[in-house]
Structure 1
Amino acid sequence: MSQPRTPAQVLRDARQKDSRDKRGRVLSTVDRLLADNEPITFTGVARAANVSHWLVYAAGMREHIDAARRRQTRATTNDTRAATIAPAGWKVEQQLLQQDNRRLREEVDRLKTAIRRNLGQQLDQLGAADLSTRVNELTALNQRLQSDLERAQALITDLTGQLNEAHDDLAAARTSIRQLIRVENTASATP
């Protein structure tokens, strides 16, 4: 026969069950937000799971939420949803950079094709005596085109760096806003 439980044991068991239920709601809410590709924030998880802010920052919960946020950040870097969140100016700048890159690649391909075609035609037309002179001219032209290509690639690298800096600035601004919201939430929660 089991002994009757004391009121303290009943209360402790009820609190443990309530704690397990709340933690389970937090974990399922985080998984649902991740699956729905919704932004995962501590405040958002606490509201969606209907639990206290303290619980989402508690050991075990915080690590799970941070891991989900990191997965979501990695997943959205190339996602079109992340592009819709970015300011319009940055989207335009990114599109312009992509168009410039595409245009430069097409121009390089076109120039290579033209050089090959012209070289073949001219070699057919020239005699053996003119070949060495023509090869020197084509070598100089090739070097000039190579330097043009290197300048274009340097420009692409520079513009990509500027775009990365803009993305870093955006991430820093978002982090600052989150911290301000967190401070504001903490201030409004304290009487």
Structure 2
Amino acid sequence: MSEPRTPAQVLREARQKDSRDKRARVLSVVDQLIADGEPVTFTGVARAANVSHWLVYADGMREHIEAARHRQGRAAAGSARAGAREPAGWKLEKQLLRDDNRRLREEVERLKGAVRRHLGQQLDQFGAADLGTRVDELTAENQRLQVERDNALTQVKQLNEQLSETQDDLVGARESLRHMIRAENR
């Protein structure tokens, strides 16, 4: 049978497991970014892996990320050379696709703006009709609450006066009791 572990050992093992898990997440994110063709950056890896910036710059992690960045740089340079050898038709096709994408993005933004304006007009129309009624309701509720507050303050004042009178009576009764006890003891 093994010896029982101390709390320090348990904590150390938990931290080591957590560190291994985080490092594995970093390596996995780097591999995923490379596979997706996304640029590998220290900040991007830290965010995607949900780890601290310190960890991505730590020994072992930094080298792996720098190697991935170096591989991406070589691949980009190779594709730039390959792009120079592309047929003229492909370059024209790429330019046409870029123009179409730009035009479609502009149209999407224009349509989003139109929808926002239309919804704003609908809200304005709805709000204007019921606004007067709602203001009247809130004013009446405010007045009712003010009356309740004033009544409560009046009641508090009356109760404070009664408490003061009762305390005065109590002080008088205690004083009278003291006199009676002294008179009895003599």
| TM-score, with length taken from structure 2 | 0.43
Higher relative contact order (CA 8 A, sep 6+): 1
Give the alignment's TM-score, normalised by structure 1: 0.42
